[in-house]
Amino acid sequence: MSGKCYRSELIGLFGCPVDENATVAIMEAAFKELGLNYRYNTTLVYPKDLETAVKALKAFNMKGTHITIPHKVEVLQYLDHLSETAALMGAVNTIYLKDGETYGENTDGKGFITSLAEAGVEFKGKKTVLLGAGGAARAMSVELAAAGVSDILVVNRGEERGKALADLLNGKTASNAEYVSWAGTFRVPDDTDIVVNATSIGMHPDSNKPDIDYSSLLDSMIVCDGVHNPVQTPFLKEAAKRGCRTLDGFSMLINQGAISFKLWTGLDAPVDVMKKALERELN
């Protein structure tokens, strides 16, 4: 026995990790690339056990964890600290530990904004149509508002969630938001700059596309999808046919993972390696 300690640093994913192979592949590839003795574990946590699971982060000396469905909102009450935007969104997708205390952050929207910025998109004064009002929509729209978009039209099937998001954006950000009920085919207004699908429509194995009038998409618009599998969703294919610039959920997933990685490890994520790992996983 050398007496050397071979234990790995642990990073987790708490929730209902049914299809999280993509995130595992990305993270494990990044650890390997940087020679880090870290492991990324997915853990099924039931709602009744969430508080205990968050306490266990400290007991197990973990670096942190991703949080997924259905815990992104409930988890807030169990954390020692929250970032300003996570508090504003009311949702956390990343916990990291510092000096034995838990910090909640939301990197979903930040990853999305990074992807748009990398594509050269400017935000100031832009008008956005946001399809959906769930967790991803909240994260994406709060970050869009923080980046300077002027108007956000929240189009959602469920009125309660749609109105609540529009109220949040109007009350807590500088953007003007309006809720539109998604009853029947939605026509995108001509003066829209950015169209975002933040619903789960089109996520494998679903092959549907959001019910919008695709002839209302103009080639001046940039059209984005939060769905990462498949990368080229039916929604993005339709938009590309109409000459729109498109942005897929693949780059958003990589970028949110890269931001979380930095919070956990303090290191810049090897983004190219992570992209290749995700491509392999999706193929």
Q: What does the binding site for ligand NDP look like in residue numbers (CB under 6 A)? A: 69, 108, 111, 132-137, 156-158, 161, 182, 198-201, 203, 226-228, 249, 252-253, 256
Q: How far is the CB of 6 from ligand NDP (least distance, A)?
A: 33
Q: How far is the CB of 17 from ligand NDP (least distance, A)?
A: 12
What is the SS3 assignment for 195? strand
Is 79 or 203 the residue whose CB approaches ligand NDP more closely? 203
Q: Which residue has the tokens 């700059």?
A: 193
Q: CB neighbours of 213 closer than 8 A, spacing ≥ 6?
A: 185, 186, 187, 188
Is 37 or 185 the residue whose CB approaches ligand NDP more closely? 185
β-partners of residue 88 are: none
User: Is the omega angle on the peptide bond into residue 230 within 30 degrees of 0, that is, cis?
Assistant: yes
Show the tokens assigned to 92: 């956390």
Q: How far is the CB of 260 from ligand NDP (least distance, A)?
A: 10
Least Cα distance to 153 among 192, 190, 184, 185 occurs for: 192
CA atoms within 13 A on the CB side of 26: 26
β-partners of residue 152 are: 128, 177
H/E/C letters for each residue in 201-230? Answer: CCCCCCCCCCCECHHHCCCCCEEEECCCCC
Q: How far is the CB of 207 from ligand NDP (least distance, A)?
A: 12
Evaluated on CA atoms 49, 108, 253, 243, the torsion sign reads positive
Cβ atoms 155, 128 nearer than 8 A: no
Alpha helices by DSSP H, the chain? 21-33, 50-59, 84-89, 108-118, 135-147, 159-172, 234-241, 249-265, 271-282
Closest residue to ligand NDP in the complex (CB): 134
Is 64 or 135 the residue whose CB approaches ligand NDP more closely? 135
Which residue of the set 32, 55, 58, 72 is catalytic?
A: 72
Is 73 or 273 the residue whose CB approaches ligand NDP more closely? 73
Is 192 or 199 the residue whose CB approaches ligand NDP more closely? 199
Catalytic (active site) residue 72: yes
Is 2 or 196 the residue whose CB approaches ligand NDP more closely? 196
Q: How far is the CB of 58 from ligand NDP (least distance, A)?
A: 26
Q: How far is the CB of 119 from ligand NDP (least distance, A)?
A: 15
What are the catalytic residues?
72
